[in-house]
Amino acid sequence: MLHCLAVLSSPNTLSCPKLHETSNGTTVWTSYDKSSLLYNFNSPSELKQVQALLIKTSTPLSVLPLSRVASVCAFSSSFPHAQKIFHCVNKPEVTVWNGCLRSFAESSSPFDAILLFCQLRKYDVLPDSFTCSYVLKACVQLLDLLHGRNVHDYMEKLGFQSNLFLQNMIVHLYASCGKIGDAKLLFDKMHQRDVVTWNIMITQFAKRGDINAASQLFKQMPERSVRSWTAMVAGFVQCGKPKEAIELFMEMEGAGLRANQVTVVAVLAACADIGALDLGRRIHEYSNRSGYQRNVRICNTLIDMYIKCGCLEAARVVFENMDERTIVSWSAMIQGLAMHGQAMEALELFSKMVQTGTKPNGVTFIGLLHACSHMGLVEKGREFFVSMSRDYGIAPRIEHYGCMIDLLSRAGLLEEARQFIKNMPLKPNAVVWGALLGGCRVHNNIELAEEAIVHLNELDPHNDGYYVVLSNIYANAKKWENAAKVRKLMRDQGVKKTPGQSSITVAGLVHEFVACDESHPQVKEIYASWENLLQQLRLKGYVPNTSVVLLDIEEAEKEKILYHHSEKLALVFGIINTPPGETIRIMKNLRVCEDCHAAFKLISDVVNREIVVRDRNRFHCFKNGTCSCKDYW
């Protein structure tokens, strides 16, 4: 039988739903307008209108969407009214509120879940374990320790001490709110733990930089899931131990476990850090085979990995093939172009990004400012610095000031850079003064360098890099007594110069070299080859630049040191051990030295090879006698 309900009170807002009696005698809606007030009431008073309509038409209350009833009445005096409705339709009250709590906890304002939880207590609704889990979820989202502790106390009263789910959430809450000690106490006291409990503790210790504690737990845990291995691999990466991350990943593979999407991100990040291109490529293939191509975070990490391994083109391919890009994808690509000295391309990419409607963030501007400073685009850099706050409401952070000082000082605008530091609203840090010092090295300004070092001596007294630069400036001006004083200062403060170290991967094996290295098995061959190459370089006009050697010693001695710089040894090793024409990739822990830079340009021509060098700041791609940095670095 079909009933057609008359629209009674409000013909404009209530459409005409139809009731249908089914064969077993129950009555259901068969046709209705989803936009009707019946399903879209927005306030307790509209709800009451709907109820009036239902009563007039003898329609059961059970047709009401109860979750909507709950959310409309959650924060008003109609709370008891909603309770009555749930009671009438025989629906366990707490389950309806739980649904509501869950959606609040997962919404953009999780605090609503906490408010609703307070309402439940006020109106004597007895929470169950699900109620607690949803409100705890909100507390974790908000890092709200105060309410979290409250819920914890209440849970104890309710007797949920042995609920493993909730215990795990509490441990997670304390740890993520910075109370790792409290979390560990709870963890130690727990009568029962599962793999999730252990994973939470491992992740949180690693997040707080205590990789040893994480590692210890990982060794102790009775059983490990892929997530446990992943937490540990990611932990090593976060704590600046990419080598350990890769070793552990290999062990995980050896144990026959398959990497999931998060493992892939962690391993790729480790590859990016140490420039492990071969492994990175293998993981990329594995990721594609596993169907992870559409995972944005994996794509973003792939872009970063290829960039940091010197394969700008491969990064571009990944970027171009993404159907959906986030601000991270664009920022990573912009930063990559900057590192490779392609400033104009970085700026063009930024314009494209803005055209697609993606809003930049603070990191995007760091990339843009890097691009400008690596290529000397002073005016563009100034524009970006103004634009970031004016057009995008992003307040410059200390890193942005650091980039600006770097930009100005490299370009030789040292006095302006100094004024910029004086006028900045933030307290200048070591990076800022270090940038000024770097500019002084390029432009041989002793006076300003001495001013910078006073601040650096205070802000970061154990960083050897700054003293080395100052000593370099003195040596360059042949002020040997001053250079000696700097070295004495270093000795007095117990600061040692970080030895230059270069590495190259051949046939999957990493070969590391330090200056004047004699430990490599092929050392004789390398030195002989270098002598040979040197003859050819001299014919091309190479003159050794001994001013980069800090010591006041004989020229011949200086040349010998210069010829055995780690990057030169790595390069010669690469030339001997790879087929002609193959690109040689070298990684250096410090900045590439000026003499090596000049030599590499000529060598790229002599041996007809592309040589890609990643130093601590950027990439140099040597090809046909020139470098991609256009000698501005």
Partner DNA sequence: GTAGGGTTAG
What 3-state class would DSSP assign to 586? strand
Give the integer Cα–Cα distance in Å for 319 and 9. 57
Is 367 a residue that touches DNA (CB under 7 A)? Answer: yes
Task: Decide if residue 172 touches DNA (CB under 7 A).
Answer: yes
Binding positions for DNA, 489-548, rule CB under 7 A: none
Residue 199 engages DNA in binding (rule: CB under 7 A): yes
Near DNA by CB under 7 A, which window of 22-30, 321-329, 523-531, 618-626? Answer: 321-329
Q: Shortest distance, CB of residue 175 to DNA, whole angstroms?
A: 9
Of the listed pieces 108-116, 196-204, 438-446, 598-606, which binds DNA according to CB under 7 A?
Answer: 196-204
Cα(371)–Cα(366) distance, integer angstroms = 9
Q: What is the CA radius of gyration of the chain?
A: 33
Is position 327 an interface residue for DNA (rule: CB under 7 A)? yes
Q: Which of 49, 71, 203, 604 binds DNA (CB under 7 A)?
A: 203
DSSP characters over 248-306 = HHHHHHHTTPPP-HHHHHHHHHHHHHHT-HHHHHHHHHHHHHTT-TT-HHHHHHHHHHH
Q: Using CB under 7 A, which of the segments 262-270, 462-470, 500-508, 595-603 binds DNA?
A: 262-270
- Is 272 a binder of DNA (CB under 7 A)? yes
Binding mask 401-440 for DNA (x = CB under 7 A): -x----------------------------x---------
**Residue 215 is a binding residue for DNA (CB under 7 A):** no
Number of residues written out for the chain: 633
Instruction: At 619, give phi and psi (nearest 5°).
Output: -110, 145
Q: How far apart are the C-alpha atoms of 633 and 625, rounded to whole Å? A: 17
Residue 195, interface with DNA (CB under 7 A)? yes
Question: What part of residues 226-245 is at the interface with DNA (CB under 7 A)?
Answer: 226-228, 230-231, 234, 237-238
Q: Is 295 in the site for DNA (CB under 7 A)?
A: yes
Q: Does 472 bind DNA (CB under 7 A)?
A: no
User: Of 364 and 471, which has the nearer Cβ to DNA?
Assistant: 364
Q: Which of 46, 128, 450, 610 binds DNA (CB under 7 A)?
A: 128
Q: Is 363 in the site for DNA (CB under 7 A)?
A: yes
Among 38, 137, 148, 214, binds DNA (CB under 7 A): 137
Task: Please identify which residue in 53, 140, 407, 470 interacts with DNA, judged by CB under 7 A.
Answer: 140
Q: Which residues contact residue 316 at a Cβ distance below 8 angstroms, ignoring those fewer than 6 apart? A: 333
Query: Judged by CB under 7 A, which of 7, 158, 190, 296 binds DNA?
Result: 296
| SS3 at position 336 | helix
Q: What is the DSSP letter of 191?
A: S
Tell me the closest approach of the beta carbon of residue 263 to DNA, in angstroms.
5
Range list of H helices, 357-507: 362-375, 378-392, 398-410, 414-423, 430-443, 446-459, 464-476, 480-492
Q: Between residue 49 and residue 78, which ones bind DNA under the rule CB under 7 A?
A: none
Residues 6+ apart with CB under 8 A from 88: 61
Among 82, 85, 169, 436, binds DNA (CB under 7 A): 169
Nearer to DNA, 279 or 602 (CB): 279
Tokens of 572: 């010669």
Note every long-range contact of 309-317, with CB atoms under 8 Å and residues 24 or more positions apart, other chains counting.
309/271, 309/272, 309/275, 309/276, 309/277, 309/280, 309/585, 309/614, 310/275, 310/277, 310/585, 310/612, 310/614, 310/619, 310/621, 311/277, 312/336, 312/337, 312/340, 312/342
Nearer to DNA, 283 or 603 (CB): 283
- Which residue stretch of 111-119, 160-168, 275-283, 588-596 sits at the interface with DNA (rule: CB under 7 A)? 160-168
- Is residue 615 a contact partner of residue 588, using CB atoms and an 8 Å limit? yes
- Counting contacts by CB under 7 A, is residue 304 touching DNA? yes
Query: Under the criterion CB under 7 A, does residue 168 sit at the interface with DNA?
Result: yes
- Residue selected from 74, 142, 264, 417 as contacting DNA according to rule CB under 7 A: 264
What is the separation of C-alpha 620 from the centre of its chain, rounded to a whole number of angstroms?
Answer: 24
- Tell whether residue 331 is a contact of DNA (CB under 7 A): yes
Among 116, 139, 151, 265, binds DNA (CB under 7 A): 265
Residues 96-125 that bind DNA (CB under 7 A): 98-99, 102
Structure tokens at 253: 């593979």
Write the single-letter amino acid at 278.
Answer: D
Distance in Å, CB of 259 to DNA, minimum: 8
Chosen residue from 342, 364, 409, 503 binding DNA by CB under 7 A: 364
Q: By C-beta, is 267 or 411 nearer to DNA? A: 267
Instruction: Report the residue from 15, 260, 522, 577 that binds DNA according to the rule CB under 7 A.
Output: 260
Q: Please, what is the end-to-end C-alpha distance for the chain in angstroms? A: 85
Helix H or strand E segment including 104: helix 93-105
Closer CB to DNA, 235 or 574, in the complex:
235
For residue 187, CA distances in Å to 171, 177, 193, 200, 436 come to 7, 15, 8, 10, 49
CA 170 – CA 193 distance, rounded (Å): 13
| Smallest gap from residue 326 Cβ to DNA (A) | 6
Residue number, 150 or 361, with CB nearest to DNA: 361
If the CB atoms of residues 196 and 468 are measured against DNA, the closer one turns out to be 196
Q: How far is the CB of 14 from DNA (least distance, A)?
A: 31
Q: Residue 131 or 215: which CB sits closer to DNA?
A: 131
Stretch that binds DNA, among 221-229, 243-251, 348-356, 490-498 (CB under 7 A): 221-229
Is-contact 420 408, C-beta < 8 A? yes
Beta carbons of 515 and 499 less than 8 angstroms apart? yes
Chain positions 598 to 627 lying near DNA, rule: CB under 7 A, are none
Q: Does position 297 bind DNA by CB under 7 A?
A: yes
